[in-house]
Copies of this chain bind each other. A is one copy, B any other.
């Protein structure tokens, strides 16, 4: 059951090294605390190998990149691989520039990822190596999501997640569609980044079943969005919704996830 992943995460309290963009770093750190883990954020080549070694998992979020941080991502990823720590990649806005594209391809070539999560455009960009891209939004091309997700999963060996109206989770063979979530999550900056952070905690807590841990994270995040939306008054908006989503993760029980998760095998 997916709820077991919550239990394992709260029991093992995974410490996750996050190389994160500065826009969503605070929310990602609070999301990790909410789910039972914790974050240490470090992004410089001079220290990331040590920081990775002191943690049990790694999340590489490519937002607000610069050459210094990109170098650190590669070092941290290789260190995590050497130590057998699961690594999550969030290729934020990968189609936005040659720098991000080259860095993402370099990372995928040299680092083995346990999970790669993005929106349909980002994942399609990684598969095709080219893109017609419109920023970091989650609303385009979702209809092809299962196929591009499977293609990238087969190519990389990672569990691939495509966020959208229906979230896709696949290891290249089995494909799940997750129906949890609420459209208002698109109005929160970094909702996807927060999911990637959560994935870092769950796959670190359950490294032996990355597919199930990923499915649990996607369903849990969506369910928390639903719970958060249910609390809103008509005066509330995206800022309060953001807070309530994190709040909901702190209060989410294994039973609530098992009862509330809505997914199917495609």
Contact = CB atoms under 8 A, between A and B. Distances in A.
Given A23-B26, A244-B240, A247-B236, A43 B15 contact: no
A251 to B, nearest CB: 6
A54 interface: yes
- Copies of this protein in the complex: 3
Contact of A251 (B47, B55, B237): B237
Given A235-B251, A246-B239, A54 B135 contact: yes
Interface stretch (A141-149, A152-160, A187-195): A187-195
A235 to B, nearest CB: 6
Interface stretch (A28-36, A108-116, A162-170, A206-214): A28-36
A171 B34 CA distance: 35
Interface in A61-95: 63-68, 93
Interface of A: 15, 20-27, 29-30, 32-34, 38-44, 46-47, 50-51, 54-55, 63-68, 93, 96-100, 133-137, 186-190, 227, 231, 234-240, 242-251
